[in-house]
Amino acid sequence: MSASNASRRIPEVVFHTRKGHEWVAINSREFFQNKTVIVFSLPGAFTPTCSSAHVPRYNQLAPIFFRHGVDEIVCISVNDAFVMNEWKEIQKADRITFLPDGNGEFTEGMGMLEDRKELGFGKRSWRYSMLVRDGVVEKMFVEPKVPGDPFEVSDADTMLAYLAPNADKADDVTVFTRKGCPHCSRAKQLLTDAGMEFEELVLNRDYTDRTLRAVTGADSYPQIYINAQHIGGADELAAWLQHRKAA
């Protein structure tokens, strides 16, 4: 996309979405009106980079975007409503609105429609993101025109750096737990009380005791990691939180 697309209005199209058993038509002009919206668009639902990085990170950073004036975060792909709804559910991306551009009309209007017939994809979107205020594009981050599927500038962290460069990023927290463990329950409550989101990995569902020993060198529960730092168990977490609060 050329630089001239900044400060232009988004294309007026109809997104054919599916809510329950009903078709719901969403007009793009009405959807974007009087809102600040982050849009990111990608080659296809269920594709590797889109599923492992693009969607998850926008979903993780959504609360920070919302605190800085964003009303909606939208993922657009040249896929139909059924595919987009299933992908959203599998991704557990409840903070993102998925809009299907099955006919590629919005994507073409943005100048981002690419022929991917060599992959059997047909016409798909080039990867990009943009900040849209009241239907007008303020800023775009378009991936470079190089072979493959570049993912360098349309990511959530780049958008956050533009929108709110001094914003504190969310902590990355993982808790290794086992069912019926009171110390695990205490640790999760401590994190919840501190307003810290976390990913829980449950013994014999998500990992085995061998993995716990390999990763942490411990055999007790829970084991907590924050921003790549091994904190330890519930007592160590309580001390870490207290120290952070006092700092």
| Residues annotated as catalytic (active site), given as ranges | 50
DSSP 3-state assignment of 1? coil
DSSP 3-state assignment of 105? helix
Looking at the DSSP assignment, which residues form a beta bridge with residue 139? 131
The answer to whether the beta carbons of residues 125 and 114 sit under 8 Å apart is yes
Dihedral sign for Cα atoms in the order 97, 6, 64, 206: positive
The answer to whether the beta carbons of residues 38 and 70 sit under 8 Å apart is yes
Which residues, including other chains, have CB under 8 Å from residue 214's CB and lie 6 or more apart? Answer: none
The answer to whether the beta carbons of residues 110 and 2 sit under 8 Å apart is no
* Strand bridging mode 36-42 / 72-77: parallel
DSSP 3-state assignment of 214? helix
Which two structure tokens, joined as six digits, stand for 39?
A: 């849009």
Residue 233 to residues 33, 143, 212, Cα–Cα distance (Å):
48, 42, 13
Residue labelled with tokens 């969607």: 55
E strand or H helix at 182, and its extent?
Answer: helix 182-193
The answer to whether the beta carbons of residues 76 and 45 sit under 8 Å apart is no
CA 243 to CA 222: how far, in whole Å? 20
